[in-house]
Chain A
Amino acid sequence: QVQLKESGPGLVAPSQSLSITCTVSGFSLTSYGVHWVRQPPGKGLEWLVVIWSDGSTTYNSALKSRLSISKDNSKSQVFLKMNSLQTDDTAMYYCARQGDLYYFDYWGQGTTLTVSS
């Protein structure tokens, strides 16, 4: 079955950078796009970036300078890198698969990122 699972460092100091990994199973990254969405505590959903099946990318323009996405098709992994972290980057970070009509049909369980000194 389709599964996505995020993994990340948990706690990062302000101004530092981080990398979060989304490991997928049950489908191929060469056939589906994968998005990153974050959710600050008690707040709504914010779209960050997508890596399409062909490897091209689209970024949230507000965060583009601090984000980088890549993937390893052979390992079924998608990588999100974010630099210059601030306290308002504290959030749950989800990866999600894009379905046929641009909905997000499968989501990971999320990985919590806390930015704090």
Chain B
Amino acid sequence: QIVLTQSPAIMSASLGERVTMTCTASSSVSSSYLHWYQQKPGSSPKLWIYSTSNLASGVPARFSGSGSGTSYSLTISSMEAEDAATYYCHQYHRSPPTFGAGTKLELK
């Protein structure tokens, strides 16, 4: 199965700071099938970015995604308090679908 490694595991950012987190796949993943979810404590995951760079409905434009092959990233152009959450990458290029272990983003 394809293993997704997210880094860092935990990070903190100040309001207005630019944030970047990465997701590295153990083998190449089509960008169409690499997705990101946001999860806050006590809530279910929410689709956040699909197919590498497409924002899900309602996701603020300060979020962006990029990447190809085995290397993908999620960027927040200017950190806001509501962005504090855990972000998971997810691939369904090949079954079984797998998730990264998550990056927990905290407000500094």
Contact = CB atoms under 8 A, between A and B. Distances in A.
A109 interface: yes
A: contact size bracket: 20 to 34
A102 B99 contact: no
Contacts of B37: 45, 104
A107 to B, nearest CB: 4
B44 A101 contact: no
B51 interface: yes
B32 interface: yes
B99 A45 contact: yes
Interface in B17-46: 32-33, 35, 37, 44-46
Interface-central residue, B35, B92, B101, by most chain A CB under 10 Å: B92
Contacts of B56: 105
B88 interface: yes
Contacts of A106: 47
Contact of A60 (B46, B50, B96): B96
29 contacts: A44-B88, A44-B99, A44-B100, A44-B102, A45-B90, A46-B99, A47-B97, A47-B98, A47-B99, A58-B95, A60-B96, A94-B44, A94-B45, A101-B35, A101-B50, A101-B51, A102-B33, A102-B92, A102-B97, A103-B35, A103-B47, A103-B50, A103-B51, A103-B90, A105-B47, A105-B50, A107-B44, A107-B45, A107-B46
